[in-house]
Chain A
Amino acid sequence: MNIQTVNTVEALLFGAGRPLRLSEIRGLLESDGVIAELSDIKKCINELEHRYEASSLEIIEVASGFRLQIKQSYSAPITHLWNERTPRISKALMETISIIAYKQPVTRGDIEDIRGVSVSTQSVRSLLERNWIKVTGFKDAPGRPALYSTTKEFLDDLNLKNISSLPELPEIDEDSDTQVLSEVV
């Protein structure tokens, strides 16, 4: 690939500070008068990956596209820099987002059924504010409760490409007893 195009792709990734799709990059190049195929842009990214090998940077593909990141091995010093920026996520909130992630779309009632506690408006709001979940519809049930699903940002923030790259949901109790029980039934 021509070095100018590779550098332009690099500049775009640096300037965006968020994931960019290949098609998005193609559009941006096009408005700059450079016509490139998606495969060419992928080649540019590969070229950059190669360039970054000996640096603290890397390019990662997440749900919303390609993103420039700092290699995780260099996280520690930055943690001190941004110490106060990361709000902790409570155990309860983690359970709520997990249920949404694995069972989506779900209503608040569905989450409450599993967790056995009422889900506070506050916790749903904090997930909405984080852009981790969104309302994707309303259940055809009395009161028409909102159905929640996870967003691309949620996957981006966990360095994931798609929902199927989440760790597998554990099966009901792996103990042999369960198997015996199911064999009997």
Chain B
Amino acid sequence: MQNTTQTQLEFPMVMGQPYETLPEDLFIPPNALELCLETFSGPMDLLLYLIKKENINILELDVSNITDQYIEYIDLMDALQFELAAEYLVMAATLAEIKSRMMLPREIHDDEEEDPKSALIKRLQEYQRYKLASEKLALLPRVDRDFYTASAALPEIKIEKKEIFITKEELASIFYEIKSRPDLKLSHQIDFEELSTQERIQIIMEILAKRNVVSFSKTLRKAEGRHGVVVTFLASLELAKDGHVELIQNKTDEIFLKSLRGA
């Protein structure tokens, strides 16, 4: 049995004193760093790590400080000839942009453009949600890792094959019987379209002339049945294609037709 008790993490002793904190000038072998960098799933992950390391809330992000650290990491990765994904550089550029903007005196607030810092914070928050979710998901019991399915070997399965006994005379008589069947087939008759799409477009347009929005089911006539639905649907698609209406569907199954004339 390998039932080892968890050992307390022991601090190294230096001159009879426990050494509790890492020395500032600790040399980290480049290979170790490379390994550590590889664990980041992307620039967002690296950025979150840096923020977490500073022990600050994302909202209090000190861009200037983080930018310097981030670029330091990037430089290291570069120096180690770590193949750098372009996205890391894009993030470095974004950070540098935010930092430089903050150094410049504030211009009159431009509402059109979103503040890049708050945009970055929003992205980080959104990313963090899914990162946390993915960590939870990774911990869920997984088949063939945490649990296994059960099955049993199949018993011998006998499949009975029925042999067909038939004489050649029988075969011949069946063939003649088929040959001599009267030709009862009718050529397929195609009915004229009783409901015209063109006409339906007119009807929908008339409805929409009175009101701006109409639900799809209101444009139907029960008596026309399935064909009516198809024709009406084709008509609404046709109208949507030509830009006369907009088709809207909410969480329900209902489709709404919205007139675009006024827009």
Would you call A94 and B128 a contact (CB within 8 A)?
no
* Residue from B127, B133, B134, B149 in contact with A67 in the complex, judged by beta carbons closer than 8 Å: B149
Which residues of chain A come closer than 8 Å to B44, judged between CB atoms? 115-117
How many angstroms from the CA of A86 to the CA of B143 in the assembled complex? 9
How many angstroms from the CA of A101 to the CA of B60 in the assembled complex? 30
Would you call A117 and B126 a contact (CB within 8 A)?
no
Would you call A94 and B154 a contact (CB within 8 A)?
no
* Residue from B85, B91, B129, B149 in contact with A172 in the complex, judged by beta carbons closer than 8 Å: B129
Q: Does B209 contact A (CB under 8 A)?
A: no
Which residues of chain B come closer than 8 Å to A181, judged between CB atoms? 59
Q: Does B252 contact A (CB under 8 A)?
A: no
Chain A contributes a number of interface residues (CB within 8 A of B) equal to: 50
Sorting the interface of chain B by its residue count into under 10, 10 to 19, 20 to 34 or 35 or more gives 35 or more
Among the stretches A1-9, A25-33, A69-77, the one at the interface with B is A69-77
Which residues of chain B come closer than 8 Å to A115, judged between CB atoms? 41-42, 44, 127, 130
Q: Does B5 contact A (CB under 8 A)?
A: no
Would you call A15 and B133 a contact (CB within 8 A)?
no
Q: Does B146 contact A (CB under 8 A)?
A: yes
How many angstroms from the CA of A16 to the CA of B85 in the assembled complex? 46
B43 to chain A, nearest CB (A): 5
How many angstroms from the CA of A118 to the CA of B58 in the assembled complex? 23
How many angstroms from the CA of A171 to the CA of B130 in the assembled complex? 10
Would you call B39 and A91 a contact (CB within 8 A)?
yes
Would you call A95 and B131 a contact (CB within 8 A)?
yes
Q: Does B87 contact A (CB under 8 A)?
A: yes
How many angstroms from the CA of A167 to the CA of B129 in the assembled complex? 12
* Residue from B57, B58, B91 in contact with A116 in the complex, judged by beta carbons closer than 8 Å: B91
Q: Does B144 contact A (CB under 8 A)?
A: yes
B128 to chain A, nearest CB (A): 7
Would you call B41 and A170 a contact (CB within 8 A)?
no
Interface positions, chain B 184-200, Cβ under 8 Å from A, are: none
A92-B150 CB under 8 A given contacts A101-B137, A173-B125, A178-B59: no
Interface positions, chain A 129-169, Cβ under 8 Å from B, are: 156-160, 166-167, 169
Would you call A95 and B134 a contact (CB within 8 A)?
yes
Interface positions, chain A 77-126, Cβ under 8 Å from B, are: 78-79, 82, 85-86, 89-92, 94-95, 97-99, 101-102, 114-118
B202 to chain A, nearest CB (A): 27
Which residues of chain B come closer than 8 Å to A71, judged between CB atoms? 147
Q: Does A53 contact B (CB under 8 A)?
A: no
Q: Which residue of B lies closest to A58 (CB)?
A: B150
Q: Does B171 contact A (CB under 8 A)?
A: no
B87 to chain A, nearest CB (A): 5
A177-B57 CB under 8 A given contacts A91-B39, A114-B126, A118-B87: yes
Q: Which 9 A-B pairs have the closest CB atoms?
A: A17-B151, A117-B42, A98-B134, A14-B152, A116-B44, A92-B41, A68-B150, A167-B136, A157-B143
| Besides the known contacts A91-B39, A167-B137, A170-B132, 18 further A-B residue pairs in the complex with CB atoms under 8 A apart | A14-B150, A67-B149, A69-B149, A82-B144, A94-B134, A94-B135, A99-B134, A114-B126, A116-B127, A157-B143, A158-B137, A158-B141, A158-B142, A159-B140, A169-B129, A170-B133, A171-B129, A175-B57
A-B contact pairs, 11 of them (CB 8 A): A14-B152, A57-B150, A75-B146, A90-B41, A92-B41, A97-B137, A102-B133, A116-B127, A157-B142, A170-B133, A181-B59
